[in-house]
Chains A and B, each alone.
Chain A
Amino acid sequence: MTLLPALPILLPLAGAIACMLLRRHGALQRGLNILFSVLILGAAVALLAAARDGSILVLQAGGWPAPFGISLVVDLLSAIMLVLGGLMAVAVSVYAWFDMDEGRMRFGFAPLFLIMLMGVNGAFVAGDLFNLYVWFEVLLTASFILLALGGERPQLEGSIKYVALNLLSSAMFLAGVGILYGMAGTLNMAQLAVAIGQGGQGGLVTMVAVMFMMGFGIKAGMFPLFFWLPASYPTPPAAVSAIFSGLLTKVGVYALIRVFTLVFCGDTAFTHLLILAGAGLTMLSGVLGAASQHEIRRILSFHIVSQIGYMVMGLGLFTALALAGTVFYLIHHIVVKTNLFLVAGAIHRLKGSYDLDELGGLYRERPYLSILFMVPAMSLAGVPPLSGFFAKLVLILAGLRAGAWVVVSVALVVSLLTLYSMTKIWANAFWAPAPEPAASDRSGMDRATWRRFLLPMAALAALTVCFGLFAGPVFGLAQDAAAQLMDPAGYIRAVLGGQ
């Protein structure tokens, strides 16, 4: 037994403690934040390397055998999510090195950031539903404070909506956990899968499944309870928005995938159809909301909602190909979305505004920044040969094979409208002439610093291009992860030890 699966939890905890001890030293915390993000990424890559051949790593905490102890389980999907989380942590912590103000740094941006990462990583490796609930609360509590940190009026207003809806979803999730425990007498996901598989999925289990769907759906930003997301994500500084948009809603999607491929897969005709319908409505309402907005971060926030729809669509179709599409979409989306928020932050740094009416002429002024926006924006819209094209292609192919015509046509229309939103930002902020009087450079950085500031965005954009150009190997990884998800027997055997 190795401690490797616990490292993604222990490393951020150690980092957070170190940063709290050094709370008076802003510069040192910035450095430690990057250092520990790199270490987390390293641990995640080691886990992915170990899980790549299809083996499932299990750590029974304290040596208590499952289902009595706490199991940490890393399968391919978990490992992929951990690596993506680590990558985003590194990119955002480098961005925060340049951009985060001294006041927020002193009030604990770095420890909160690391504790949130601990919660996210914990949720990815949890093998037990109650453990999952606890990690959700860890990441939520840290994210509440990150969102409100600074105490500006919009932040506070956004935080109230975020806090209220997320606590409601947690209460629903917890109630589902309680009922499930009453029925099955266990909360270990592998043992639950066995118990529900043997007992058959009766009406009560399906009702609990819907409670989980609501609980995770609110956290993921699914229709109909997604309005907290565009109201809160655009309010904090860009670094916080970026890491939220990259990771938090995706934890909700991950939990949906985990629970609805492992535990609740006895009545797919009802539950997965409900998920599919929710996916279609999520896509549509998100993209229509984005079309009506005129502020970059709000447009991007609404697009998180519509993109969540695509990921959940693959889960709703529930075929191996569709799940592979979902995993590929997660890989693509996390990188692209974080990058877009970082670029939006850089635009704000330069011009002091996010409003499309007050922006303009960026292409003439900063051609490199324009390219860094163009790459993820076109990838989000699904323009070949970027990663978004292949992600959508796989999902739509899977939809056609399953004969789900309605959701496929919705997905295609939404893709077109995404392109519309992205070109709207491009045309207004980059191509249109600068408004009079043209705002001068407010970034307060010289040329060399500015180039280093753009480095994390350039790295993420390069990653997007690579995912597009080398779509084959990435899709192979997604397919292996999906194959593991479609065959829960391996997961159950790894956790329970062949009982």
Chain B
Amino acid sequence: MEAVLAMVIGTLYGGGLYLMMRRNLVQLIIGLGLLSHGANLLIFTAGGLRRGGAPILAEGETHFAAAPSDPLPQALILTAIVISFAVTAFALALFLRTYQTTGTDDVNALKETDP
């Protein structure tokens, strides 16, 4: 399972970086989205994959019978998803406004402020 996820993560990173280097604003934002998905899956995989094993102790138990799965990576990912959701929403609004103001979605045309 790790190998499959590793390939998925690699594909997400590769695709994300490729799209970020394109000239189109929409592709740039999709690329950013893919990158953050890749990072989230990476945390999920690196935190250790385990089927079942909910880390909940029943009433009266003090030890887990089998090693439980680690809930922390999922909590981290949840936070990261919320953050990337907010940031993507902002980026979409920014790009729309830029398109309305400049009339272009070509990154190469946005050179006015380049040093």
Contacts and interface: CB of A to CB of B under 8 A. Distances in A.
Contact of B90 (A144, A183, A230): A144
Given A157-B102, A181-B72, A234-B113, A163 B47 contact: no
Nearest to B17: A168
A158 B86 CA distance: 20
Contact of A144 (B16, B44, B94, B107): B94
Contacts of B39: 171, 174-175, 178
A175 B42 contact: yes
A148 B94 contact: yes
Contact of A160 (B36, B72, B83, B98): B98
Chain B interface category by residue count: 35 or more
A185 B111 CA distance: 45
B94 A289 contact: no
Contacts of B48: 182
* Size bin of chain A's contact surface: 35 or more
Contacts of A182: 43, 45-48
B43 A154 contact: no
Interface string A134-169: 100100110011001001011011111101100110
Given A141-B86, A171-B36, A175-B38, A156 B102 contact: yes
B91 interface: yes
B115 A178 contact: no
B85 to A, nearest CB: 11
A156 B90 contact: no
B55 to A, nearest CB: 13
A179 interface: yes
Nearest to B16: A171
A130 to B, nearest CB: 6
A231 B115 CA distance: 6
Contact of A156 (B72, B97, B107, B111): B97
B43 A156 contact: no
Contacts of A130: 76, 79
Interface in A114-132: 130
A157 B87 contact: no
Given A130-B79, A167-B32, A171-B35, A160 B97 contact: no
Contacts of A145: 90
Interface in B89-115: 90-91, 94-95, 97-98, 101-102, 107, 110-115
Interface in B69-86: 70, 72-73, 76, 79-80, 83, 86
A144 B97 CA distance: 14
B46 A178 contact: yes
Given A160-B110, A164-B28, A178 B47 contact: yes
Nearest to B28: A164
Nearest to A302: B115
Contact of B46 (A163, A168, A179, A301): A179
A191 interface: no
Contacts of B35: 167-168, 171
B95 A160 contact: yes
B19 to A, nearest CB: 11
A431 interface: no
A284 to B, nearest CB: 15
A178 B42 contact: yes
Given A141-B87, A178-B42, A156 B101 contact: yes
Contacts of A306: none
Nearest to A301: B115
A167 B17 CA distance: 12
B46 A232 contact: no
B81 to A, nearest CB: 11
B102 A163 contact: no
A353 interface: no
A423 interface: no
A231 B111 CA distance: 9
Interface of A: 130, 133-134, 137, 140-141, 144-145, 148, 151, 153-154, 156-161, 163-164, 167-168, 171, 174-175, 177-179, 181-183, 185, 227, 230-232, 234-235, 289, 293, 298, 301-302
12 contacts: A137-B83, A154-B112, A157-B110, A159-B98, A160-B95, A160-B107, A164-B28, A174-B80, A177-B76, A178-B73, A181-B46, A289-B115
Interface of B: 16, 20, 25, 28, 32, 35-36, 38-40, 42-48, 70, 72-73, 76, 79-80, 83, 86-87, 90-91, 94-95, 97-98, 101-102, 107, 110-115
Given A134-B79, A227-B114, 19 more contacts: A133-B80, A141-B87, A144-B87, A148-B94, A151-B97, A156-B94, A156-B98, A156-B101, A158-B113, A160-B28, A160-B110, A174-B43, A178-B44, A181-B47, A181-B76, A185-B70, A227-B115, A232-B113, A298-B115
